[in-house]
Structure 1
């Protein structure tokens, strides 16, 4: 059985939602742990197997996976029948992986820096800035309902997350807001029992 370390109302909620979408909640032992929160509450949980006491963290037998994009890829590859990923050989495999890694390596970092009011030419030159990332999303979503075209994927689940969580705190466009609304209408969002 898979073991999933999760802190409610945190980044790991997206993995809880993915498990619901994949129909595998009966194959995952979810272990709720505490983590340090921005408001000063919480703290590292000795029960958390993550080497840095963070979430999400997934253990599969003797193997382990950390970082959301990696866990999303791992689970959608392991459970391809749900159709939320793009398996090796699929014509959209490269685009699917690119969106997952773009989220983890570009969108989340620049969104956090923008929210914190931090900027530096070295960051902008290497990572881009939030406006550039937002405009990239808008260009894609102005032409199609989801990141890979007409159907929802785990890339949408991952990339729409911060817009749903932070709402008006993140500058968006009409196309992005409509996409986030479509993603938030998924039954799996309500089924997590988290905001």
Structure 2
């Protein structure tokens, strides 16, 4: 798609600072396409208002509008944008041998990593193996570390949208002590933090968070 989008096709992100939607904002920054941001003050409960519940009944961010398409869930937005803007080089094409591993890591994040980390954060035992979506927390973490030992990125030498998703996630979870800072993860997070788009998103989120704090005061 051309970078010169019509108004009907313009990308619009529903965003709240320092949330999962920061990852979606990062995808947009990396792609470099024009976009608009509709900011929700979650501290004021705007995500529970009727206007936003009509967008996402879950009351969660991110959500992305593109013409008549509405996409929610961080990984789905990443997949959508990476395929919508192939020139950005963030997704192996269908038929590329790396396409399967790429999809694996995009889905593994939501299906295994997040449930395992949430259970660990809540001090909950893993469900019985026959019912657990992730098996064991330790298995999830070792799987991630083993992959990162094979190269700087999840697809080895190739950077992809999966690394934007995981880089953001591992930055937050190690910061809050939910994931151990192994040498592999520490180096991976450092590579993620060095990307210029990460700094731009952090600065924008800091400014928005300050505005929300001032409004609350």
TM-score (norm 2): 0.81
One of 62, 78, 86 as aligned partner of 1:80: 86
Which runs of structure 1 show a deviation greater than 3 angstroms over 4 or more consecutive aligned residues? 123-126
Cα pair 2:116 2:126 within 8 Å, conserved = no
Deviation at 1:103, TM superposition (A): 0.3
| C-alpha distance after superposition, 1:97-152 (max 9, x if no partner) | 11010001110111111111111432674322222111011111112110001132
Cα pair 1:2 1:59 within 8 Å, conserved = yes
One of 49, 60, 67 as aligned partner of 1:54: 60
Cα pair 2:119 2:126 within 8 Å, conserved = no
Q: Distance in 2 between matches of 1:120 and 1:108?
A: 13
Give the direction of change, closer, same or farther, for the CA distance of 1:115–1:20 in structure 2 (3 Å limit). same
> Any stretches of 5+ residues in structure 1 without a counterpart?
36-40
How many pairs are equivalent? 188
Residue 102 of structure 1: aligned partner: 108
Cα pair 1:65 1:71 within 8 Å, conserved = yes
Residue 210 of structure 2: aligned partner: none
> Any stretches of 5+ residues in structure 2 without a counterpart?
1-9, 207-217
* Residue 156 (str. 1) matches residue 163 (str. 2): yes
Cα pair 1:107 1:133 within 8 Å, conserved = yes
